[in-house]
Amino acid sequence: MAILFNDNAIKEITRQKSQWREQVDESEDNAEKVFETLSGLPVEPIYTPADTAHMDYLNDLGFPGQAPYVRGVHPTMYRGRTWTLRQLAGFGPPEETNKRYRFLLREGATGINGVFDYPTLRGFDSTDPFARADVGRGGVAIDTLEDMRILFDGISIDKISSSLVTCQPICNITVQSMYFANAQMRNIPLDKLTGTSQNDFLMETAITISPELLPPKVSFKLSCDAIEYCTKYVPRWNPISFAGYNYREAGCSAPQEVAFVIANAIACSEELIRRGLSIDSFAPRLSFFLSAHNDFFEEVAKYRAARRIWFHIMKERFGAKNPRSLTLRFHVQTAGVALTAQQPLNNIARAAYHALSAVLGGAQSIHIDGYDEALCTPTELSSLTALRTNQILQLETRVTNTIDPLGGSYFVETLTNKMEEQTLSLLGKIDEMGGIVNATETGWIHQEISNSAYKYQQAIESGDMKIVGINCYCMEDERLPVELFESPETLNIQEQKLVKIKSERNKPGVTEALDDITRCCEEDRNLMEVIVNSVKAKVTQGEISNTLKKFYGTWNSPIF
């Protein structure tokens, strides 16, 4: 035990705090005002050693790189290696996004963070009637292996790590297969590839739902197929990034964000163990994607609490022994939902504060939003400004000089403990429902997110939550001070490529490739084992998705 304070000192501090509080309450102007975090956790006017007197330093905090990893997953943290600058990019046809990737890499980005358009994310070809209006919007359009070749043309994918924002498993099972197949065709062994895929079944079934959804159990199977495949053949790849960021963008609170990603990770771990894998064979490559929202200290506490919760679950529930299995590693994106279309240059300041919370919380990689993201796809200037913000934070502010600088703050430690309590309570409820897949099928997850989103929006509209430019300090007759990005022509380009590929490909080979996928479904085998080869026959993403939907059927999300 390494208790920090003696009982007599704590009693005296508690007594004097009560006296101080009585004096302050008598003169406080805001006696009726409620102080709480963005997620509703109460906040006291001051914190003292009495608030953390029960804590055992070595067991509850420890040192960086040591259990329970609250103070960071690496012994030297940013003194040894700073976070990866991974700016999100993707729009239009792959030819245009390839130019943006090269631009960001030339300007100092240290990894690729590729986002895909709405049809690609949902498993549709660009020419599908459900998809045509959204082609090239919100990301890059990928229909075939040829598009993947163009997207990474001239980029050393055996040296640069790539994050594929393949949110939905129905997208990931094909697009990630195309990435691997493209590497094989460039004679790059799969074990040389580094990167991350998002591959989160909650994205498909609860967050960014679309027509003709796969049922939750099927989407979850596809997600686990990709994890299993990478564990066997692509050992340096993170095959899943539990997308808490997107849950938060949909309206979750901070404790819900952490609880839902960890519940998802628990379910994946149980499934992969059922398939015969040992926990330490795949857990080191489970990664997390979290948001950095407006409440600075709550975000720092969230990251610290998440690491402690993950450590205890991996160690006590699954018996993991590999230290990398015990450490929660995460990428952070600054909160897009916190940006405003009004006075958009204010978003540079917002995103910088968001990113600082991620740094002080110990993130492994960070994307900073462009100031125009509430209005459009980021322009080149907006993307460059975001990258420079990341670089200024890393190189000029000296926040990297010491590890976990807010550790030991009575407030931050108390908030970390409260965040842990709230998250564990939610995890207990999900366990009682039989796990995250069952909780999704019943609509409980949808209802929880909806309730939180409604509360957040009400607070803004009532003025209880101040947002500069929205409900205070508004500017009448504001003139937009930035140029808006115009998406390049995409549909015609993708349509022409699809017509050409379909007319030139070997039709019996296509039929055989799709039959192989159906047979794999019937035999309940790992689908990625088959699809990595199927895409080489120039099968399109839509054809693969339709084959899966024909076999498994589709699902309507719960109405609430």
- Residues 426-461: pLDDT tens digits? 999 999 999 999 999 999 999 999 999 999 999 999
Residue among 147, 125, 237 at smallest CA distance from 528: 237
- Residues 545-555: pLDDT tens digits? 999 999 999 99
- Residues 291-306: pLDDT tens digits? 999 999 999 999 999 9
Q: What angle do CA 110, 328, 60 make, to 5 degrees?
A: 130
pLDDT of residue 525: 97
> Average pLDDT over the chain, rounded to whole?
94
pLDDT of residue 5: 78
pLDDT of residue 1: 60
pLDDT of residue 560: 58
Query: What confidence tier does 208 reach under pLDDT thresholds 50, 70, 90?
Result: confident
Distance CA 321, CA 317 (A): 12
DSSP letter string, 417-482: HHHHHHHHHHHHHHHHTTSHHHHHHTTHHHHHHHHHHHHHHHHHHHTSS--BTTTBS--TTPPP-S
169 token code pair: 């498993």
Buried b (16+ CB within 10 A) or exposed e, 291-303: bbbbbbbbbbbbb
Average of per-residue pLDDT across 107-131: 92
pLDDT of residue 480: 83
- Residues 190-200: pLDDT tens digits? 999 999 999 99
Length reported for the chain: 560
Distance CA 463, CA 304 (A): 31
CB 534 within 8 A of CB 517: yes
Lowest mean pLDDT among 19-33, 152-166, 474-488: 19-33
The HSE-up count of residue 149 (CA atoms within 13 Å, CB side) is 12
- Residues 500-511: pLDDT tens digits? 999 999 999 999
Predicted confidence (pLDDT) at residue 120 exceeds the cutoff of 90 = yes
Distance CA 209, CA 389 (A): 33
Distance CA 457, CA 254 (A): 15
- Residues 410-425: pLDDT tens digits? 999 999 999 999 999 9
357 token code pair: 């919370």
Beta bridge partners of 42: 36
Buried b (16+ CB within 10 A) or exposed e, 425-439: ebbeebeebebbbbb
- Residues 24-46: pLDDT tens digits? 865 556 667 789 999 999 999 99
Q: Within 10 A of 269 (CB to CB), how many other CB atoms are there?
A: 23
